[in-house]
Chain A
Amino acid sequence: MEKSPGYVWKKVGIFALRLLVFLFTALPIYWMINTSFKPEMEWVSFPPIWFPKELTWDNYILLFHPESMIEQFHISLESAWPALINSGVISVLSTALCMVIGTLCAYSISRFRVGGNFFPMSILALRMFPPIAVALPVLVLFSTVQLRDTYLGMILAYACFNLPFSVWMMKSFIDDVPRELEEAAIVDGMTPTGAMLKVTIPLVKAGVAATSLFIFILCWSEFLFAFILTDTEVATITVRLARYSTDTGEMYGARAALGVIATIPPVVIGYLIQNYLVRGLTFGAIKR
């Protein structure tokens, strides 16, 4: 190919643009990690410090051994460990619940067209509901039945609002499996349920894994419901992140440290399922 003089500029330009995109993407993440290793004096210094002059694990220690928090920051918080556990428990259990009932429903919609067109679209419409609107009566109702600030309440809430993803994602995976396989199994003597469990589900194993992990990420990152519906017992990690501000100044370092720790699971999981991300986030409409 002839290398015109414009060719080099074009290459340099494209490289520069790619670099710019990379920097833009990396900056907030880098700053978060950066701050989490800085000692208190360097958190919001001027001029901003791009690489800590004094690398320290103090912020991470503070998260899990908050005894010095009272004297230093005048706030008494317990260790962040329970918050991590709460997030984990709630996310895992609500993902499980959401997946089980969602897959059943998706199978029914896919094979039997239950509810015609209205039912699946109405599930999608769940995502249009401003969650704060539902959170208010749910707050009132949950308090009446003593479900507020409990594991069960949070699990039910999360399972419900991630149904659109589980139903639609699984529907798109199940749609990919030809009906003939099940029909052949039924002809061979299996019950319809048996056919579903022994034939279809194993074939969408990858889809189940991807959808589960995807919903796990959503539950883990959710903030509004957790903030309104929890107090002391089941505060999740997002609620915990919001509590590291005191009147004597934000605890930037501790928040950054907890932010880094809290973000690692979703990012790792996202990396594992990156091939299915598009399908998930577009409710199965686009198969990559």
Chain B
Amino acid sequence: MDDRKNGERGEMKRRTFVKGALAAGAAAMASPMLPRWAFGAEKDQKTIDMEEAAMQIEQAYKTDPVAMRALEAAKTIAKGKKDLELTIFMPAGAVINFMPFTKIWEKETGSKLKFFEVVNVEVDQKLMQEAVTKSGKFDVLPTPPLSLVDLVDAKLLLDIGPLAQKFDPELTGPNGIVEGMDRFTMYYKGQLWGINSDMDIFSMYLRDDMLNDPKNKEAFQKKYGYPLDTPKVYKQLFDQIKFFDDPKAGFAGGFAYRKRALCWMGWLQQFASNGLWMFDENMKPNIDNEVGLKVLEEQVEIQDYCNYKTKSYNWNDIYKNFAAGKGYTAFGWPSLGKYANAPNTSKVIGKVRTAVPCGTEVKGTLVQCAQASLGRCLSVSNYSKNPEFAYCYIQFATAPIVSAFAVSKATGLFDCYRKSHFTNPVVEKAYPAGMLPVLQETMKAAVPGFFLRGGKEYKDALDAQLNAAYAGATKPKDALKNISEEWEKITERQGREGQIARWKELREYYPAAFKKVAG
């Protein structure tokens, strides 16, 4: 009897609860349909800035012949076509680089631009899926150089050589793309597969104010026996990191990349600066030796003075902390320079010194290497329904003056890639004073990464083992042995002949000093 009453009451309670929930749900569902102003939003400084920037480009783009050629061609194609749409696949965060001129394109051609973004780590996977599904959903693809060979072999990219000949995006010449680095990011098998929209290279960032401080200079000279200045070799850099590390004050000596997927760059850069090829002529790994071991051990040792001893810092955490003035040095892409120079993100404006990454002295020569494995080029999908239209957009977006606006976006991901960028006033305003000439020097020291078939797999094998070694799960010697074995397996699987040929091609692009020492 009691149970039944309880049951009934329970039923009633349940019913009223459901009614209440439904009412709340209905209210919640209606809320998205209320306009933004209903919540009391107002324009903030960022929106105003964005509008200001757009106004400048409104005049500037007309003075860019490359952009105008692309626009005219696009307008001819778009004429009479209603509902023309381009889908642009981009890594998350890159869309902000396209914002300045999206409205211009849409207005001029009367077409719409759709952006599809995923997190950076998933871009490769989505590209590979697209290669399998051939859906033609994306028109413009962000090809990373590590996957260039794989994507071309998987027949995902369109050879835009003929189109480039027709419309001339000025890839060479005084406004052209930086030489050396362009060969291994855009070309494969002698054909053109995309136009660079971002060139990533590691620079060394230091705290200028701390280097100039006479008290620091004195103390350092006393402790280490040589003057405090921009480090030229890794030993000097590590000494300085140890010197400036101050855990009690919450100040990190340096910032190191120890998160999964980021570990490989620092080690590879330091290893290359020892003048050793990572593979020999027959694509046999050349890292399991005393040089590789020494580099790995030094990298493990310096961890204690970096990142306040945590290992989970993503690159944006490193950016944030360096720009907040909480560390002495970091290796970073050019975007760190912009980040540390922007008023709303940085507390160290004017206090940042950039330099070509330090190197190692080998046989009397200073070999400086800057890791340049990332970056992006914009490609046209092989399955796009409007390939020529998509190409025109790419040419427009990477045109010398238009792209300067993209590159100068302080919080965006894209960085200088045309020679004209280094002297463009819009770009100069975004970067710290004096950084652009240094960046140009750095690009001469660029070292290509695993731009082979299965490039991602080589990189992942290296990264996974390094990550384990940094976390203390594997001994350095074992890590290097495992890496070599993995690399061998990958080479066998991908076809040694093809890899040897491609590796021979890539060796040409190593810096001059390196080639002199390595032979």
Closest to A233 in B: B137
Question: B-side binding surface: helix, strand, loop or mixed?
Answer: helix
Kindly state whether residue A30 has any CB partner on chain B within 8 Å. Answer: no
Q: Contacting A246 at CB < 8 Å: which of B47, B92, B126, B129?
A: B92
Instruction: Count A/B pairs, Cβ under 8 Å.
Output: 90
CA distance A106 to B373 in the complex (A): 57
Beta-carbon nearest neighbor of A70 in chain B = B96
Residue contact A243 to B36, C-beta cutoff 8 Å: no
Contact with A along B32-76 (1 / 0, CB 8 A): 100010010100101100100000000000000000000000000
Binary contact readout A138-160 vs B (1 if CB under 8 angstroms, 0 otherwise): 01101100101100000000000
| Minimum CB–CB distance for A145 against chain B, Å | 11
CB distance B317 to A249 under 8 Å?
Answer: yes
Which residue of A is nearest B345, CB measured? Answer: A248
In the complex with contacts A71-B50, A243-B119, A64-B133 CB distance below 8 A: no
* Residue in B closest to A75 when the chains form the complex, CB atoms: B92
Is residue A268 within 8 Å, beta carbon to beta carbon, of the partner chain? yes
The reply on B176 being an interface residue by CB < 8 A is no
B 2-19 contacts with A by CB, 8 A: 14, 18
Q: Which are the 7 A-B pairs with shortest beta-carbon distances?
A: A143-B133, A64-B32, A74-B93, A71-B46, A75-B92, A248-B316, A76-B95
A4 CB-CB contact with B under 8 Å? no
Is there an interface contact between A248 and B18, defined as CB atoms closer than 8 Å? no
Q: Does A51 contact B (CB under 8 A)?
A: no
Q: List 17 A-B contacts (CB under 8 A).
A: A57-B39, A64-B31, A64-B32, A70-B96, A75-B92, A75-B93, A81-B32, A231-B126, A243-B118, A246-B92, A246-B93, A246-B119, A247-B120, A248-B316, A249-B316, A268-B18, A268-B21
Known: A71-B50, A74-B412, A249-B316. A143 touches B119 (CB 8 A): no
Within 8 A of A (CB), among B84-103: 87, 91-93, 95-96, 99
Does residue A232 face the partner (Cβ distance < 8 Å to B)? yes
A71 touches B119 (CB 8 A): no
* Bound Cα distance A243, B47 (Å): 24
Q: For A76, list chain B residues within 8 Å (CB).
A: 95, 115, 117
Indicate whether B289 reaches chain A with its CB closer than 8 angstroms: no
Please give 18 more A-B residue pairs, beta carbons under 8 A apart, in addition to A60-B31, A79-B32, A247-B91: A64-B32, A68-B41, A70-B99, A71-B50, A71-B96, A74-B411, A76-B95, A77-B117, A139-B133, A228-B129, A232-B137, A245-B92, A245-B119, A247-B93, A247-B119, A247-B316, A249-B317, A272-B18
Distance, CA A100 to CA B116, complexed state (A): 37
- Nearest-neighbour CB distance to chain B for A252, whole angstroms, equals 13
Q: Name the B residues within 8 Å of A23 (CB-CB).
A: none
Residues of B within 8 A of A264 (CB): 25
State whether the Cβ of B311 lies closer than 8 Å to any Cβ in chain A.
no
Judged by a CB distance under 8 angstroms, whether B188 is at the interface is no
Among candidates A64, A142, A249, residue contacting B314 with C-beta atoms closer than 8 Å: A249
Q: Given A139-B129, A248-B316, A232–B118 Cβ distance below 8 Å? A: no
A245 surroundings in chain B (CB, below 8 A): 92, 119
* CB neighbours of A248 from chain B (8 A): 93, 316, 411
Q: Which residues of B contact A139 (CB under 8 A)?
A: 129, 132-133
Tell me the complex Cα distance, A139–B125, Å.
Answer: 13
Is B134 part of the binding interface, using a Cβ–Cβ cutoff of 8 Å? yes
Q: Which A residues are CB-close (under 8 A) to B93?
A: 74-75, 246-248
A contact residues around B411 at 8 Å (CB): 74, 248
Contacts A74-B411, A247-B93: A143 and B135 contacting too (C-beta < 8 A)? yes
Q: What B residues does A142 contact at CB under 8 A?
A: 133
Interface status of B234 (Cβ within 8 A of chain A): no
Docked-complex contact A272 and B14, CB < 8 angstroms: yes
Chain A: which residue is nearest B130 at the CB level?
A: A231
Interface string of B393-432 (1 = CB under 8 A from A): 0000000000000000001110000000000000000000
Q: A74 to B21, Cβ gap below 8 A?
A: no
Give the size range of A's interface with the partner.
Answer: 35 or more
Q: Please give, as numbers and ranges, the residues of chain B lying within 8 Å of A140 by CB-CB distance.
A: 132
Q: Identify the interface centre among B32, B99, B129, B317: most chain A CB within 10 Å of its CB.
A: B32
Q: Residue of B at shortest CB range from A246?
A: B92
B315 at the interface (CB under 8 A from A): yes
- A75-B95, A272-B14, A272-B18 known; A143 and B134 CB under 8 Å? yes
User: How many angstroms between the C-alpha atoms of A72 and B317 in the bound complex?
Assistant: 16
How far apart sit A68 and B44, CA to CA, in the bound complex (Å)? 10
Looking at the assembled complex, report how far the CB atom of B336 sits from the nearest CB atom of chain A, in whole angstroms: 12
Contact in complex: A149, B47 (CB < 8 Å): no
* Chain B residues near A (Cβ < 8 Å): 14, 18, 21, 25, 28, 31-32, 36, 39, 41, 44, 46-47, 50, 87, 91-93, 95-96, 99, 115-120, 126, 129, 132-135, 137, 314-317, 411-413
- Tell whether, in the assembled complex, residue A247 and residue B133 are in contact, meaning their CB atoms are under 8 Å apart: no
Chain A nearest CB from B72 CB (Å) reads 28
CB <8 Å contact, A71 and B47? yes
For the complex formed, measure the closest distance between the CB of A74 and the CB atoms of chain B, giving whole angstroms.
4
Q: Does residue A19 face the partner (Cβ distance < 8 Å to B)?
A: no
* Chain A residues in 8 Å Cβ range of B31: 60, 64
Which of A71, A148, A261 has the most B CB atoms < 10 Å from its CB? A71
Residue of A nearest to B94 (CB): A74
B93 (CB) vs chain A CBs: closest residue: A74
Kindly provide the distance from the CB of B91 to the nearest chain A CB, expressed in whole angstroms: 7
State in angstroms the CA–CA spacing of A67 and B95 once bound together.
Answer: 13
* Residues of chain A lying within 8 A (CB to CB) of residue B95: 70, 74-76
Which residues from B are CB-within-8-Å of A71?
Answer: 44, 46-47, 50, 96
Q: B14, B18, B92, B116: which has the most chain A beta carbons within 10 Å?
A: B92
Convert A196-217 into 0s and 1s, putting 1 for each residue whose CB lies closer than 8 angstroms to a CB of B.
0000000000000000000000
Kindly state the separation between the CA atoms of A247 and B117 in the bound complex, as whole angstroms: 12
A15 shortest CB reach to chain B, Å: 23
Please report the C-alpha to C-alpha distance between residue A75 and residue B411 in the assembled complex, in whole angstroms: 11
- Tell me if A285 is interfacial: C-beta within 8 Å of chain B: no
Q: Which residue of B lies closest to A136 (CB)?
A: B132
Interface string of A79-114 (1 = CB under 8 A from B): 101000000000000000000000000000000000
Q: Using Cβ atoms and an 8 Å threshold, which residues of chain B touch A268? A: 18, 21
Flag if B14 contacts A143 (CB, 8 Å).
no
Residue in B133, B137, B315 whose Cβ sees the most chain A Cβ within 10 Å: B133
Any B CB within 8 A of the CB of A126: no
Tell me the minimal C-beta distance from B141 to chain A in angstroms. 13
Known: A139-B129, A148-B133, A148-B135. A247 touches B315 (CB 8 A): yes
Given known contacts A245-B119, A247-B413, is B92 in contact with A74 (CB within 8 Å)? yes
A232:B317 contact, CB within 8 angstroms: no
User: Please, what's the 1-or-0 string for A272-285, where 1 marks a CB less than 8 Å from any CB in chain B?
Assistant: 10000000000000
Contacts of B132 in A (CB 8 A): 139-140, 143
A136 to B118, CA, bound (A): 21
**Smallest distance from the beta carbon of B114 to chain A beta carbons, Å?**
8
Q: Is A177 an interface residue, CB under 8 A from the partner?
A: no
Q: How far is the CA of A76 from the CA of B93 in the complex (A)?
A: 8
Q: How far is the CB of B391 from chain A (nearest CB, A)?
A: 22
Q: How many angstroms from the CA of A231 to the CA of B129 in the assembled complex?
A: 10
Residues of chain A with a CB closer than 8 A to B44's CB: 71
List of A residues within 8 angstroms of B134 by Cβ: 143
Partner of B32, one of A65, A67, A249: A65
Give the residues in chain A near B96, CB-CB below 8 Å. Answer: 70-71, 74
